[in-house]
Structure 1
Amino acid sequence: MKVIICGAGQVGASIARHLSSENNDVTVIDIATELAQRMDESHDVRGLVGHASHPDVLAEAGAADADMLIAVTHSDEVNMVACQVAHSVFGVPMRIARIRQHAYLKPEWKQLFAHEHMPISVIISPEIEVARGIARRLRLPGAFDMVPMAGGKVHLVGVHCTSRSPLLDTPLRRLTETFPELRAVVVAVFRDGRGFVPKGNDTLKLGDDIYFVSRTADIDTVVGMAGHRESVARRLVIVGGGNIGFNLARIVENEMPGVSLKIVEVNAARAEFISRSLQPSTVVLKGDGLDREVLEEAHAGRAETIVAVTNDDETNVFASLLAKQAGCQRAITLLNKSSYEPIIAALGINVVVSPGAVTVSSILRHVRRGRVAAVHTLGEGFGEVVEAEALETSRLVSAPLGKIGLPHGMLIGAIVRGDEVIIPNSQTKIQPHDRVIVMATANLVRKVERMFAVGLEFF
């Protein structure tokens, strides 16, 4: 597949790494010479310096025979025009654009992106997706990650194993018989900075970060068995009133009644805007999230959760630490730089949110072939959890799971058949049109695509 990526920032670079590692033909365009050269030198991709929306630059990038254009520059307008040029001049079949400005996304303007106007195939809005993801974590405070799949019937949940967990040191193959109420599959374990897809004889250890797939109705039980009994926050402080903080505040107001909400925003004009736009019960403070007096005025020390979502990673980290030092129970921290992640747990930050990872996951859902409905990336290039529909000709429907011989690194987490959610075992047989949740390490993702795209003769 030939792909043009407009923008060599963190998101563009991450997508380029994903796609180039799967032997796709990838060209990355950026106006910054340094970023374009870094892509050219550091990855198996072509870096091109230029304006991503200019027809001559897109022509040089090979748009005439490209299969897909992914526009993720820092400018919404450049992303939109790049898609327009890719469609009108070069006929690129799939055009994905990141749109961050909320004004473009209001329902009353949806006709703007109709095929005959601004022909964008898929719009990615990371700020809204990040806000929704944080809201899900607020509803389940024991989890550091939570992703709905299969129309919300199942969830992928990330949780930290504490000393209170009865699951520790029990072989995974014996979990169901030992704990009949545990209706979940552990699909990935991160231990000492290394991720792996567990086998039946593996055990969970204190301090592991695990991902499990579970029926939505069983999430609280599973999280509790990992050792978590945290209560939902009733007092919440948001540091940063940008698009993420503003969208999160609106979700909290509309969907989490009874939560006392305070927002700290350093920009006076922005603080005034969000104060006018939110409910009177929401308190907006103009000030710096690194100022102890401002945090005290926001009663951050008495809040159950602080959410730090400014545009600056260092501000988010230190605001979180100051609030926890003052007595705040839990910190959810936005980080753009993945290089910080290895030290975050040691600092006492509970949840890290990566806008880049959210955007990459959203885009990969449309890049993946076959009947793929959703994709969630785990770790920095570790693997993906994929939701896809099983076809009549797929190898997956040929025999019970225990006899198919899935390679190590690939694991079935759940099967959704109509309204029924099946937590599989070796005797389970997938049927045509089942929705299947699959964990696959990065080297096996292409094989998952083929499983959901071709017939038995391929194998």
Structure 2
Amino acid sequence: MANILILGAGRVGSSVAEQLVHERYSVTLVDSNAAALKPLQDRLDLRTVVGHPASPSVLEAAGARDADLLLAVTPSDELNLVASKVAQQLFNVPTRLARIRNQDLLAQDSLFGENGFAIDHIITPAQIVTDYLYRLVETPEALQVLDFGGGLAQMVVVRVEADARMAGKPLSTLDTLLPNVDRRVVGIYRRNRHIRPDGNTLSEVGDEVFVLAATKNIRAVIRAFHGEDRRARRITIAGGGNVGFRLASALCGDYQVKLIETNRERAVWLSEQLPKALVLNGDATDETLLDNEQAERTDLFLALTSDDEDNIMSGLLAKQMGTRKVIAIINRSRYVGLLQGSRIDVALSPAQATIGSLLAFVRQGDIVAAHSLRRGSAEALEIVAHGNRNTSRVVGRRVEELRLPEGIYFAAVVRGEQLVVLHGETVIESEDHVIVFCDNKRRIREVEQLFAVKLGFF
């Protein structure tokens, strides 16, 4: 998929454009605001077009006739809908993705099919980020939790703690600690440098360990690296916007949830919609408010407003006052690396979280899932293997036969309802869902080529 047309130069559009340019895709970015396009044009090798994103003449000028994929992520749902239909009907763009946030629209599936606005896949960033945060709440020891095989398997990122059983020990020790748990450590990042692990690799305090296992076994694996962490019960959410409201709705049945919202009218509405949560009208950066609400007894503080500075300040303040764990949304992606692992335990870029749901459509081959890792520098893929030994580079071959490029690691396969952790003698079968870890996004094209099927297969 060579030519990608992106409508909207906001946070999602610009972040996706930057990532795809780095992967050497041909990207054209359209926005009605020339000022939003200029900095991107100055520092990235892409084409920009100023104009109304749904205008046929603007889409024509942007090369819609030659586009392989349209990504409509402007702030307007209506604009994204119309642009998708125009791209399909006038320019026959093969694949069309659109961001839709309005719940009333999302409830009407018939609007998005070929007889409606012709959208192949709907993106709802607020829901993507909410789901991401929910998994972190459910797995408080993890820095990131990714699902594969329809939830059968998970890859988690966990920081090694000093009191963990694996601290200072070689990875082969896992065979003794977890004798009946099949798992695969696919990568270790130590002081921001990737280490390709083997059985002799020592697990050092502070390492970020990427490990894959069956979902039913993932907590046992996490405990080996992190130690026991009590389940979060008391949760405070700062920010009652789309993400804050969705997350509070998902959590308040099982957790004690407090939601802090600065806007009084919004706070009243939230209190009506969330009868099981305690909604407070106030400023989360107010030390007196946090003190009155016993921040020191809070298990988890989530700073989810639209303002980075407020999220940083309220998160730091809550941590200083004794909150056990802090998660903050940071819209400026470059801040995330500076804050992650400091007094803010998890810093999350919504754009990076959203990108993963888009990458599966950009990648060549039968991609089921694509997850962006390490602030976009690495990626984990779930790819369906097709063909046979004659038509495929991977099917019918033992893992030890595969000449994998440096930085590409086959971790496991989902075969039917079974997770098979790969070893050297394991043979990859046709229709296996192969879970691949790539520590350098520049090698993704090589992964795609590995799974390409020769024409003889058809």
Alignment match, 2:270: 274
Alignment match, 1:247: 246
Task: State yes or no: 1:180 paired with 2:179.
Answer: yes
CA distance in 2, matches of 1:455, 1:172: 38
Task: State yes or no: 1:390 paired with 2:388.
Answer: no
Instruction: Report SS of the residue matched to 1:189.
Output: strand
User: How far is the alpha carbon of 1:433 from its aligned partner?
Assistant: 0.9
Q: Give 1:5-84 correspondences, 5 Å limit.
A: 5-84=6-85
Alignment match, 2:161: 162
Q: Give 1:117-196 correspondences, 5 Å limit.
A: 117-172=116-171, 175-176=174-175, 179-196=178-195
User: How far is the alpha carbon of 1:346 from its aligned partner?
Assistant: 5.6
Instruction: Report SS of the residue matched to 1:396.
Output: coil
Alignment match, 1:204: 203
CA distance in 1, matches of 2:332, 2:281: 26
CA distance in 2, matches of 1:431, 1:234: 44
CA distance in 2, matches of 1:223, 1:147: 14
CA distance in 1, matches of 2:61, 2:195: 41
Task: State yes or no: 1:94 paired with 2:95.
Answer: yes
CA distance in 2, matches of 1:321, 1:286: 20
CA distance in 2, matches of 1:151, 1:302: 36
1:29–1:337 CA distance, 2 compared to 1 (3 A): same
Instruction: Report SS of the residue matched to 2:231.
Output: coil
Contact 2:166/2:173 (CA < 8 Å) preserved in 1? no
User: How far is the alpha carbon of 1:89 from its aligned partner?
Assistant: 1.9
Contact 2:6/2:13 (CA < 8 Å) preserved in 1? yes
Deviates more, 1:196-205 or 1:127-136: 196-205
Instruction: Report SS of the residue matched to 1:219.
Output: helix
Q: Deviations over 1:115-144 (max 9, x none)?
A: 212211110111111111111111111001
| TM-score (normalizing by structure 1) | 0.93
User: How far is the alpha carbon of 1:178 from its aligned partner?
Assistant: 6.9
Alignment match, 2:434: 436
Q: Structure 1 regions of 5+ residues with no counterpart?
A: none
Q: Deviations over 1:379-407 (max 9, x none)?
A: 23322100011112321123211121212
Task: State yes or no: 1:221 paired with 2:220.
Answer: yes
Given the alignment, which residue of 391, 416, 419 partners 2:417? 419
User: How far is the alpha carbon of 1:92 from its aligned partner?
Assistant: 1.0
CA distance in 2, matches of 1:171, 1:22: 35
Alignment match, 2:362: 367
1:197–1:384 CA distance, 2 compared to 1 (3 A): farther
Instruction: Report SS of the residue matched to 2:252.
Output: helix
User: How far is the alpha carbon of 1:45 from its aligned partner?
Assistant: 0.9
CA distance in 2, matches of 1:173, 1:46: 50
The alignment's C-alpha RMSD in Å is 2.0
Alignment match, 1:302: 297
Contact 1:4/1:61 (CA < 8 Å) preserved in 2? yes
Given the alignment, which residue of 308, 317, 322 partners 1:322? 317
CA distance in 2, matches of 1:93, 1:137: 35
User: How far is the alpha carbon of 1:88 from its aligned partner?
Assistant: 2.2
The one-letter amino acid of 1:451's match is L
Alignment match, 1:450: 449
Task: State yes or no: 1:343 paired with 2:330.
Answer: no
CA distance in 2, matches of 1:369, 1:355: 25
Deviates more, 1:71-80 or 1:314-323: 71-80
Identical positions, percent: 36
Query: How many equivalent residue pairs?
Result: 452
CA distance in 1, matches of 2:147, 2:335: 27
Contact 1:308/1:334 (CA < 8 Å) preserved in 2? yes
Task: State yes or no: 1:332 paired with 2:327.
Answer: yes
User: How far is the alpha carbon of 1:181 from its aligned partner?
Assistant: 4.5
Contact 1:161/1:227 (CA < 8 Å) preserved in 2? yes
User: How far is the alpha carbon of 1:364 from its aligned partner?
Assistant: 0.5
CA distance in 2, matches of 1:34, 1:202: 49
User: How far is the alpha carbon of 1:411 from its aligned partner?
Assistant: 0.7
CA distance in 1, matches of 2:65, 2:423: 48
Alignment match, 1:401: 399
CA distance in 2, matches of 1:78, 1:148: 32
Task: State yes or no: 1:263 paired with 2:259.
Answer: yes
Q: Deviations over 1:136-173 (max 9, x none)?
A: 11111100111111011100111111112333444446
Deviates more, 1:206-215 or 1:178-187: 178-187
Instruction: Report SS of the residue matched to 1:262.
Output: strand
Instruction: Report SS of the residue matched to 2:226.
Output: coil
CA distance in 2, matches of 1:80, 1:195: 42
Contact 2:336/2:348 (CA < 8 Å) preserved in 1? no
